[in-house]
Structure 1
Amino acid sequence: MAGLTAGAPTPQALTVHQASRVLEVAFSDGATFRIPFELLRVYSPSAEVQGHGPGQEVLQTGKRGVTIAQLEPVGHYGVKPTFSDGHDSGIFTWDYLYALGSRQDALWAQYEERLAAAGVERDAPMPPRGRAGGHGCGS
C-alpha cells in the first residue's frame, strides 16, 4: 500500500511501548491496535522482507526480542521504524498499520504456517545475507 486510501481511518495517537514491545495505534474510527514489534518486523513492507514480487518473500526468524530503536514520520502517510536488529527500510503506511492491527490473528497463523512449511523455528537465527532465502538488491 503506497499511502492513504481516501476516507480510510487515520492515526490519532502512536505509542511505542518498549517494555511490552508493542506499537499502540489509535485510529480515527475508534479502533486501537497493539501491534507486537515482532509482527511489525516479520511483515515489514520493505523489499528486503517482501521481495520484489509474489513468491520472493524472505521468511524472517529470530525476531521475537526485536525492539524499535527509532520511529520517524514519513510525510503525512506513515512511519519508518528502525528496529534493534538494524532493519530500517520499511515504510509503514497508515493503511498498512491498520491492516496489520486488524488482521493480527490471521497474520500470526500465516507466519507460523510458513515457519512450519520451511522447517524452521521462530527463534532460529536468520541465515547470512547472500545465502538461500536472501536477496541481493541491498534494499
Structure 2
Amino acid sequence: MLAIQRAIRRIHTRVDSPRLTRFSLDAPKKLMLLDYDPILVLVDLEYVNGSKFSLSAEFLRIQSPAADGKIRSFGGEKVIFGRRHVGIMSAEPVGNYGVRIIFDDLHKTGIYSWDYFYYLGSNKFSLMRNYIKTLKKHGLSRDPAKRK
C-alpha cells in the first residue's frame, strides 16, 4: 500500500482529469468487526478538485478495462454477470498511472488508470444503470449462479 501512496505523489495525469490525492482499499464497517480478514469491497478515491468516489468491487470488476475469458457475448455485446459478491484481494501499483486490481474470482489482467477511475466515478450511476438494463435484456443476474 505504501508503494501505491508513493505512486500517487508522483503521478501526472492528463488535463481532462484532476490529479489523484488519495487511493485506499476498504472493507464495509460491519465486516471490520469480525475476527478474520475482511474481503475488500470498496476503492475510495479523492482528487485535487475535491471529487470523492467510492467504487464497489462489483462495479470495478464489471467495468474492467481488460478482455476477459469469463465474458459472455450476446450479439456482439459483451456482458459480465454474477459478480455481485466479488471481492478485491489486492491492488498493485503500475508505474505512476494506475493499479492492477486482483479480484477474488482470480481476474487480474485489468489495469485501472487514475483517469479511468475518475471516468468511472463521474459516471457511476449511469454506467451501473446501463449494466443492469443489459443484464435484464439478456435474462442474466448480478448474483452468482447457485451451486448444485
Q: TM-score range by the shorter chain?
A: 0.7 to 0.9
Q: Decide which structure has greater helix share.
A: 2
Contact 1:80 1:88 in 2 (8 A): yes
Q: Gaps (5+ residues) in structure 1?
A: 126-139
Q: Distance in 2 between matches of 1:107 and 1:28?
A: 23
Q: Distance in 1 between matches of 2:27 and 2:77?
A: 27
Q: What is the percentage of aligned positions where both structures have the same residue?
A: 34
Q: Distance in 2 between matches of 1:16 and 1:32?
A: 14
TM-score by length of 2: 0.73
- The residue type paired with residue 111 of structure 1 is Y
Q: Provide the secondary structure at the position in 2 that maps to 1:106.
A: helix
Match of residue 108, structure 1, among 116, 125, 128: 128
The 3 A distance-change label for structure 1 pair 47 and 57 is: farther
Offset of 1:18 from its aligned partner?
2.1
Offset of 1:57 from its aligned partner?
5.0
The 3 A distance-change label for structure 1 pair 7 and 99 is: closer
TM-score by length of 1: 0.77
Aligned partner of 2:42 in structure 1 is 22
Offset of 1:94 from its aligned partner?
0.8
Which protein shows a greater Rg?
2
Q: Superposition RMSD on alpha carbons, in Å? A: 2.1
Runs of at least 4 residues off by over 3 Å: none
Q: Does 1:5 align with 2:14?
A: yes
The 3 A distance-change label for structure 1 pair 106 and 7 is: closer
Count of matched residue positions in the alignment of Structure 1 and Structure 2:
119
The 3 A distance-change label for structure 1 pair 25 and 56 is: farther
Q: Distance in 2 between matches of 1:8 and 1:114?
A: 28
Q: Provide the secondary structure at the position in 1 that maps to 2:18.
A: coil
Q: Gaps (5+ residues) in structure 2?
A: 1-11, 30-40
Match of residue 68, structure 1, among 88, 95, 114: 88
